[in-house]
Structure 1
Amino acid sequence: MTSSVPSADPALGGRHHNEGHGRRLTAAFEALEAFPVLAESRNRVLRLFTQERPATAAVVAAVESDVALAIATLRLANRVDGSSRGRVDSVVRAVSVLSPAAVQALASRARTFDFFDRSGIWEGTPERFRLHGVATQRAADRLAAELGYEDRDRLMVTSLLHDVGKLVLSHAYPGYPRQVHGEARTPEERIHRERRELGVDHALVGGVLARRWGLPKAVASTIERHHSDDADGEAALVRLADMLAHYGHGDAVSPNEMLTTARVVGIGPAELRAVMYDLPNPSTNGRQRALDPCPLSTRETEVLRRLGQGKVYKQIAHELELSTSTVRTHLHNIYGKLGAVDRAQAVLIATERGWI
């Protein structure tokens, strides 16, 4: 294949200097300032603020599932003066740094895209990009649950935005990705074609863009390294999640590459098969994240967790070295704090909100 795409700018790791190439990429970076929020995402966020006190978890979920909205929220939060400036690496932290009014205002003034009413330069790109980003995010969340990964909230951002460099290359080169990827089938084959034809790949470009946006180093580095041969830690997790998302779409993936990357993050073949089996069903993606502040004390949480395990009052009292009457008192307080009428409802509420 003979590519009409010029060689890469050395500032982005390319092999030959080409001012036209650099200008194209710079123009694409600037164009992404106007990357639109999905109209439905914007509407869902605004509907939440018709409630007197929208749940933090609901606001995070709405923002976290839209590429442009997540980017805008993170960028705004990282510009707020204080100890968290430049360190906000998750939507959870961003929503806590910004006031509810700021999130509402951000959504209100966002440019939007509607699949049924397309206009402008992006055509169907925002929807297609979101579909793969969310699929990768779900796969990453399932892997995080399997591993007990601690930085799960940041992983939701890096997995959603991992391919943001593709937006840059799509805008810079109308022939991308078809012209550059050619007959390449797997993610690894496509990344090698990008490096050969452009001198850069979308992961490297995405890392540069994340830094331009002022996102924390940990986020930019994961985006930049998720296709590196020596990817480890969160970058390897995102790489594996990306493969799983392609697998879920019915796209070609390399079994050997998937197994190799899984071993890097500490997942064996049996666990990987379980993850692959579970992915079509979102309800199996693992424990809920605790996004809303838990109103229960540590002891009340311990009591309720054991109640959820099917233990009776005497067992709970023995394990926690309490009297049975004290356990009953704790449960009475738990019901009041959660607005539950019985133990089953209390366990359900606490489980759904990630408190137990």
Structure 2
Amino acid sequence: MSPHPTEPAAPVRLLLCDDHAVVRAGLRALLASTDGIEVVGEAGSGEEALAVAARVRPDVVLMDLQLGDGMDGVTATRRLTSPPEDAGAGAAATPRVLVLTMFDTDADIARAIEAGATGYLLKAERPDELFAAIHDAASGRTALSPPVADRVMARMRSPRPDLSERERDILRQLARGLGNREIARALFISEATVKTHLGRIYGKLGVETRAGAVAVANERRLLP
């Protein structure tokens, strides 16, 4: 007996989200030129992306970050990739989100990935790289443009502590050699508040002394 023929894999169901209709039309035309990807919906805003995704159940959402007024791409990504709290065991799976944007700053990349994006591509990518990234995202694999991957690796090798603005204020006063009482007076806060912030600063910088905090801050260029 001859073996059963292998059935072709179902195409990746894709939702386009970009606030520019011309960009969406260009992407739709481009994606029509390749097999294995089916555009099942379009959205011009984050709010519309949520509504359309709930209706068409895409495998992947191709998401721009800047969406004009209203919900931005990061918020939409977080909402799309977070199942509702009342979702039961039989609830539909959340889609993968693949960011496609012109912006490659550390802050944009970090916010998108922390929001749940599976991949991050720049609009300068070649079509074949976009197609491959969509398939990777549908399979749950991370897809990053080479410049983005370089920035992520650099950030991982030398992570910058996430200090609040108040913690940075106190760190600047530390670098001036001020004591707790002087810092409190300079910033119009209590000494107890200064001590609380110092404890958090030490923890984030991985140090135990004032001198250590200033040294690490200078090394990582956290001070102006």
Q: TM-score, normalised by structure 2?
A: 0.32
User: More helix per residue: 1 or 2?
Assistant: 1
User: More strand per residue: 1 or 2?
Assistant: 2
**Structure with larger RCO (C-alpha < 8 A, sep 6+):** 1
